[in-house]
Amino acid sequence: MDWEKELKKSITSINQLKSYINLSSKEEAQLKRIAKIHPIRISRYYMSLIDKENPTDPIRKMIIPSPQELNLAGSYDTSGEKESTKMPGLQHMYPQTALILATNRCPAYCRYCFRKRLIGLATDEILHRIATAIKYIKQHQEINNVLISGGDPFILSTKIIESLLEKLSSVTHLDYIRFGTRTPVTFPSRILKDPQLPALLKNHSDKKQKIYITTQFNHPKEITKKSIAAITALSRSNLTINNQTVLLKDINDDPNILANLQAKLVSVGINPYYIFQCRPVKRIKTSFQIPLKKSYAIIEEASKKLDGLSKRFNYVMSHRTGKIEITGIMGNYIYFKYHQARNPKNIGKCFKKKINNEAGWLDDL
């Protein structure tokens, strides 16, 4: 496949990276240390979006390692995924949803990734026994949907994706399947150079379980002619496309940028779904997370600039106790509501915490 040949040309070392951006000898040494712990991978396409003359370019910050990754603050499992794991590669945190980790690879390794612990690394967290996972899902009739994530499942061959969908189609109580992918953003050639993938997804979605695509555009610069073409190809395949944006320091923490992004998404047929508070992941907490008080103000100011369609997102955090919506600030308190919960009794529960100007996560309040 042409897309596979193109992907093999990705930048995967600091020595290759030096051909694209200037690095001091100190930076080079630091980044080589980091890359041994958390690998680097950048598709040539995504690298082409970086303004090489701008050291604060938002895409550069999202994808190129920074010496700040030497800071060990944070956790590698901020959302309690270990507690939800039923077998390697299968998580079941919320009653209705099973999560499959289909791969530990992506076309580009985002530096803020909340699964930094496994991306591009040897891991036992990826699904290897699909038959065992299918058996588990069949035994749990409350599961009505499966989210296929990773890594990025669209980096798998179309044949493997087809096999996975065929096996899931045997589960009669599944209503729909979701794919979590950043491929339209970081490597649209995967979709544009393999028309069999959109065709497969359409055929399955038309005849079996409905398929939804959840992607992640974080900055207007990522919405290009190629990414729009990839989204259009998926839309024409009768797929619903939703977007999850992560609020990131010095990248999209400006109401004008955030509002522009959401409006552009709607204009190309993507539904705003969630805006996530950046998780306090080890090595990235201090460089990407914004205090909740400031984050909420950014979200509110951005919302004022948007119409009804473009502000349909919920501002949430994926906490180990559940998906928690950040609903408001009044006086000295910040208010929350459980959108989903590990303990079903907490779903819909509202609570408040005294605001802390520096806190970026529930546990810090």
Bridge partners of 271, per DSSP, are 242
Does the pLDDT at position 1 exceed 90?
A: no
Task: Please give the residue range of the domain that contains residue 123.
Answer: 2-364
Q: What is the pLDDT of residues 28-71, one digit of tens each?
A: 999 999 999 999 999 999 999 999 989 999 999 999 999 999 99
Q: How many domains does the chain have?
A: 1
Summarize the confidence of residues 294-313 as an average pLDDT.
Answer: 97
**Rounded to an integer, what is the distance from CA 323 to the centroid of its chain?**
15
Give the model confidence (pLDDT) of 270-283 as tens digits: 999 999 999 999 99
For the entire predicted model, the pTM comes to 0.97
Q: Which two tokens stand for residue 306?
A: 């948007």
The stretch 323-332 carries a mean pLDDT of: 98
- Report the distance separating Cα 305 and Cα 260, nearest Å: 9
Mean pLDDT along residues 324-344: 97
Query: What is the per-residue pLDDT for 166?
Result: 97
Region 200-225 average pLDDT: 98
Where b means 16+ CB within 10 Å and e means fewer, 294-322 reads ebbebbeebbeebeeebbebbbbbbbbbb
CATH (domain of 216): 3.20.20.70
Tokens of residue 328, six digits: 């408001």
Per-residue pLDDT for 229 more than 80?
A: yes
Question: Which pLDDT score is estimated for 189?
Answer: 98
333-338 vs 350-354, strand pairing mode: antiparallel
pLDDT tier for residue 287 given thresholds of 50, 70 and 90: very high
Q: What is the DSSP string of 217-243?
A: --SGGG--HHHHHHHHHHHTTT-EEEE
